[in-house]
Amino acid sequence: MPSLENSVTLISRSRVFPDQKSTLADLKLSVSDLPMLSCHYIQKGCLFTRPHLPPHALLSHLKHSLSLTLSHFPPLAGRLSTSQDGHVFLSCNDAGADFVFAVAESVRVRVVIGGTDVPDVVKSFFSYDGAVSYEGHNRPILVVQVTELNDGVFIGCSVNHAVTDGTSLWNFINTFAEVSRGVENVTRQPDFTRENVLISPAVLKVPHGGPKVTFNENEPLRERIFSFSREQILELKEMVNKKRSSTVGNGDINGFEVSGKQSNDKLNGKENGKLTEMLESLLGRNDAVSVEISSFQSLCALLWSAITRARKLPSSKTTTFRMAVNVRHRLTPKLDPEYFGNAIQSVPTFATAGEVLSRDLRWTADQLNQSVAAHQDGKIRSVVADWEANPRCFPLGNFDGAMVTMGSSPRFPMYDNDFGWGKPVAVRSGRANKFDGKISAFPGKDEKGSVDLEVVLAPETMAGIESDGEFMRYPYAVLFVFNADPHKKCQKDQKTLSESHSSHVEALVPVERVHMESLIRYERSMMKLECIF
């Protein structure tokens, strides 16, 4: 199939201002915000079937809705500013957000979600490609791009990562959708208070011209969505929890030593904190206490093992699995669930390649479980203190060829975004902050408890996990067939497909057994069900 990356045509760009002037004082960037100044703008968006509105009416409606929504989120219409003493603030000055309209007449919904890899054209559904968050001093904090497809529409948001994390971003998008469909009282008002441990007097010194991203933006990568049904995830979780972790050995990094941040735990015999002692006391040296592993931790362990196998690393090589952890509910006192800004910390778990591959998934999942469980108020505060002693931007990337970084969350309400003509048929992200080993977790489309993993890997590593039977027995190929007109009924044979939504039909096919067959059947279904289009 020829590349469609150049199939998107920019039609217009305009500035949208809040419906009401802001009364919010300048917000100081926190210890969680400042490190993100070297990261790309976050790019997340939703794919919809075509609304029953002409384009000009849709754009006018969405612009008005965005203006109303910005009154609830004044920071997204502001700009960054740096004081003379070096502190960075978010000025809620009503400077406005950008609104972009683009057209991709040759791109159909099925092209966006069909096939194996995510098509390159998706990257063109977002603006501010390559923009670094520090640039928020001179460019809008937010840009919304509406791209009209042949039979659908994509609403993509690019937002400054030093201003929001995923929790805040999806709260904004949910609110935008609520306002668009006429909800008078929005469900979740953002909280802009700044009286918490994350607000620090420390100053981050940036190089002349601003910080840059810390990974190679031009490295060859493949990007693919792996979908896991609720049933398969529960099967994986049950299997992991039935197995008992192997007895901790005498390797360089053992089961207690990989828990939490490397900076405050015991590694290679060096005592840097009390976390190891606490865990050993709680769990016992021989793992006498069996802790239940969550579904998501089981899934992460499966992925960590598969990627490690595919990379063919030496057994002595230390691998790292990083998870972005929401600290709002982990601090004492807790932050408001709708605290606006970044309230995340990166929690690494370490294990040698040999340990990951020779131990069972229960052992690997245990390491992840211990790391996350240990990341509570005391640990969060120690990470803040460590950063204050040495302020720095966040080093995002795969620096030693053995790292996996998990972002986003299947708990984010991505499919709640009904702008007035139905919920999304898919969620996708742009080019931003992607490198070998970057994984993003999304909720599945229709089934509560299902998960989609957006996996970005070096081509040879992706090929490795695609041929990994242990991994590929769990994801499913999700075949979507879309009805551009929900009121038009199809008379053709649909015996092999199960109805799930008025705008689409979906079937689940195990990838491992019939991957190529499912793709062929998908293409044939497109031809046989022409009445749908």
Per-residue pLDDT of 17-29, as tens digits, reads: 999 999 999 999 9
Find the helix or strand (DSSP H, E) in which 276 lies: helix 275-283
Residue pair 346/371 in contact by the 8 Å Cβ criterion: no
277 plus 372 within the same structural domain: yes
Q: Which of 266, 267, 259, 268 is nearest to 291 (CA)?
A: 259
305 plus 165 within the same structural domain: no
Residue with tokens 């991203």, as numbered in its chain: 213
465 plus 483 within the same structural domain: no
What residue ranges in 399-502 does DSSP mark as E strands?
403-408, 426-429, 438-443, 451-457, 476-482, 498-501
Q: Which residues pair with 456 in a beta bridge?
A: 223, 438
Structure tokens at 481: 């067939």
What is the CATH number for 366? 3.30.559.10
First to last CA, the chain: 20
Could you give the CA distance from residue 435 to residue 494 in angstroms, rounded to a whole number? 40
Q: Vertex 124, ends 121 and 128: CA angle to 5°?
A: 155
Residue with tokens 């972005």, as numbered in its chain: 324
Answer whether the bond into residue 333 is a cis peptide, omega within 30°. yes
pLDDT band at 494 (very low <50, low <70, confident <90, very high): very low
pLDDT band at 484 (very low <50, low <70, confident <90, very high): very low
DSSP string, 491-506: -S--TT-EEEETTEEE
Structure tokens at 121: 């054209």
**pLDDT the model gives residue 3:** 52
The residue out of 470, 502, 524 marking a domain boundary is: 470
Structural domain for 134, as ranges: 9-180
Residue 54 has pLDDT above 70, yes or no: yes
Task: Please give the torsion angle defined by the CA atoms of residues 171, 174, 179 and 181, in that order, rounded to the nearest 10 degrees.
Answer: -170
Residue 97 has pLDDT above 50, yes or no: yes
Residue 195 inside a domain? The answer is no
Residue pair 11/95 in contact by the 8 Å Cβ criterion: no
pTM of the model: 0.84
pLDDT band at 447 (very low <50, low <70, confident <90, very high): confident
Residue 188 inside a domain? The answer is no
Per-residue pLDDT of 337-393, as tens digits, reads: 999 999 999 999 999 999 999 999 999 999 999 999 999 999 999 999 999 999 999
Structural domain count, the chain: 3
Residue 22 inside a domain? The answer is yes
